[in-house]
Chains A and B, each alone.
Chain A
Amino acid sequence: MAKPMDQYKWHELNVGCVIEEVGNAMEYKTGDWRSQKPIWTDAKCIKCGLCWLYCPDAAIYHTEEGLYRANLDYCKGCGICAKECKPGAIKMVEDER
């Protein structure tokens, strides 16, 4: 959005609140909702990619070494990656921010 949400006046909104800027969901950092975050024990990781595949927010990315990490701007800490990780390489820990 061109300015923060709480600065829009009613007549500045598009009719029906239509959003014309493509992809502006990226501006909404849903990682703020998180209370836990995933931590990888790389020695246990078999690089199967299940965490990357199952992440409902597409917030897990490949590192250059072929390992996985969470993009904490969007990771909501749901724990699905840790639940699905067969070798147990992912552990959810309290995210103290």
Chain B
Amino acid sequence: MKAKKGIEVSIAASIAAQLARVEVISAYPITPQTHIVEHLSELVADGELDAAYINVESEHSALSACCGAAATGARTFTSTSAQGLELMHEILFIASGMRLPIVMATVNRALSAPLSIWGDHSDVMAARDSGWIMFFCENGQEVVDAVIMAFRIAEDRRVLLPFMVNLDGFSLSHVIEPIEFPSQEEVDAFLPPYNPLYTLHPDKPVTMGSYAMPELYTEAKYAQEMAIINSKQVIVEVMEEFGKRFGRHYHAVETYHTDDTDFVFVALGAIGENIKTAIDELRSEGKKAGLVQPRIFRPFPAAEIISAFKGKKRVAIVERVMPAGATNGPLFNEISSLVQSKGINIKLENYIVGLGGRDVLPEDFKRIFTGTVPPKDKSFDVIGVRV
């Protein structure tokens, strides 16, 4: 076992990008992503990272610069939060449609208005259908490992898609955790230099981002859809190889104490740790609950979720985003549609928690377990809202 280092997760994320030997970084600072890009710009300025750091005037330009850099064949990294991700929104689709393997650390934060700099999943969920692979981290070690795996997956010729590593603002980005860093040699052995399929180069001119007539657009989007569907196999392969090399094992869907219970929570991201604490406390009282934690949200790990739901009677889907007029939150809707289409008889409940940085305590999850009844006039329950 290697020595662990106590370090702020944001700084650790930038060191992971350094270990991945990123060649171009373009980003615009926004809370709570700031420490990641600040540290990367320091590493570049101090000559510790041989990369170009492109300063820009907005997130729209940051991701546009990343698209250009990735098109030339450079390993490209960016990071943002909240309104910054929304300002990138248009370019998110350009990156995925052009199949550019950019890696972005998205430090999840609530969307304004009202202005909130604190964490929730409104930003990523508003971008969930942009064609990016989406990975959710529970702790700092996972952030480091995810950034390294992200390049390997995104740059695979069978994938060639942009990759979003999601980490919760503040509750993950700003905490100091013990983290084990792989050596540069180990990362180099796992992550070879990017070998792009096409590059913008005057020796062999190509057109990228061209125009598709109605005769071709459907086929082009179908090809992109097949790429994100098939990326799951590559994600699983890379996670397995990562586990063999580094001893930390990742799965498309993680489970915690799901074998001996008919009740599970489903949640994304750092909130999983609070739920695990609640589960441990419940189990010490002889009450059996489990957690099903999708590691990837796109591509949606349908088969793994179905398998994790085997023998379950009641599922509490916990989300950090308001449904905004939808029947339920986006994670619930995905799971509900999956369960319905597979004809699985299971009771699904939807709980909205932790909006705009509101604390969520293990007690909240224990109350959900012991039978909070969602309000009759709503299809979801907002935990802790004063009514």
Point out the residues of chain B lying under 8 angstroms from A4, CB to CB: 215
Check B197–A15 contact: CB distance below 8 A.
Answer: yes
Q: What is the bound-complex CA distance between A61 and B223, given in angstroms?
A: 41
Whether A18 is near chain B, meaning CB under 8 Å from some CB there, is yes
Interface segment among A6-14, A64-72, A89-97: the answer is: A6-14
Interface size class of A (residues with CB under 8 A): 10 to 19
Whether B272 is near chain A, meaning CB under 8 Å from some CB there, is no
Nearest CB of B to A66, in Å: 34
Q: Which residues of A, 1-47, contact B by the 8 Å Cβ criterion?
A: 4-6, 8-11, 13-20, 22
Q: What is the bound-complex CA distance between A25 and B313, given in angstroms?
A: 59
Total count of chain B residues near the partner, CB < 8 A: 23
Check B215–A18 contact: CB distance below 8 A.
Answer: no
- The total of Cβ contacts below 8 Å across the A-B interface reads 54
Nearest CB of A to B212, in Å: 6
Whether B99 is near chain A, meaning CB under 8 Å from some CB there, is yes
Using known A-B contacts A15-B197, A16-B98, determine if residue A10 contacts B222 with beta carbons closer than 8 Å: yes
Point out the residues of chain B lying under 8 angstroms from A14, CB to CB: 198
Using known A-B contacts A5-B215, A8-B216, A13-B216, determine if residue A18 contacts B208 with beta carbons closer than 8 Å: yes
Q: What is the bound-complex CA distance between A16 and B210, given in angstroms?
A: 9
Nearest CB of A to B159, in Å: 10
Choose from B99, B100, B198, B213 the contact partner of A5 (Cβ within 8 Å). B213
Choose from A8, A9, A15 the contact partner of B198 (Cβ within 8 Å). A15
Point out the residues of chain B lying under 8 angstroms from A6, CB to CB: 215-216
Using known A-B contacts A10-B226, A22-B205, determine if residue A17 contacts B213 with beta carbons closer than 8 Å: no
Check A16–B97 contact: CB distance below 8 A.
Answer: yes
Using known A-B contacts A5-B213, A16-B208, A18-B208, determine if residue A10 contacts B198 with beta carbons closer than 8 Å: no
Q: What is the bound-complex CA distance between A22 and B212, given in angstroms?
A: 16
Q: What is the bound-complex CA distance between A4 and B216, given in angstroms?
A: 10
The CB with the most chain A CB atoms within 10 A, among B100, B212, B219, is that of B219
Q: Which residues of B, 158-214, contact A by the 8 Å Cβ criterion?
A: 160, 197-198, 205-210, 212-213
Nearest CB of A to B197, in Å: 6
Check A18–B207 contact: CB distance below 8 A.
Answer: yes
Point out the residues of chain B lying under 8 angstroms from A16, CB to CB: 97-100, 160, 198, 208-209
Check B197–A17 contact: CB distance below 8 A.
Answer: no
Point out the residues of chain B lying under 8 angstroms from A20, CB to CB: 198, 206
Q: What is the bound-complex CA distance between A42 and B213, given in angstroms?
A: 39
Q: What is the bound-complex CA distance between A16 and B161, given in angstroms?
A: 10
Q: What is the bound-complex CA distance between A8 and B213, given in angstroms?
A: 12
Choose from A11, A15, A17 the contact partner of B212 (Cβ within 8 Å). A17
Point out the residues of chain A lying under 8 angstroms from B98, CB to CB: 16-17
Q: What is the bound-complex CA distance between A13 and B219, given in angstroms?
A: 8
Besides the contacts A5-B215, A13-B223, A16-B209, what 9 more A-B pairs have beta carbons closer than 8 Å? A4-B215, A10-B222, A11-B223, A15-B160, A15-B223, A16-B208, A17-B216, A17-B220, A19-B206
A-B contact pairs, 22 of them (CB 8 A): A5-B213, A5-B216, A8-B216, A9-B219, A10-B220, A10-B223, A10-B226, A11-B226, A13-B219, A14-B198, A15-B160, A15-B197, A16-B98, A16-B99, A16-B198, A16-B208, A17-B220, A18-B207, A18-B208, A19-B206, A19-B210, A22-B205
Using a CB–CB cutoff of 8 Å, the interface residues on chain B facing chain A are: 97-100, 160, 197-198, 205-210, 212-213, 215-216, 219-220, 222-223, 226-227
Using a CB–CB cutoff of 8 Å, the interface residues on chain A facing chain B are: 4-6, 8-11, 13-20, 22
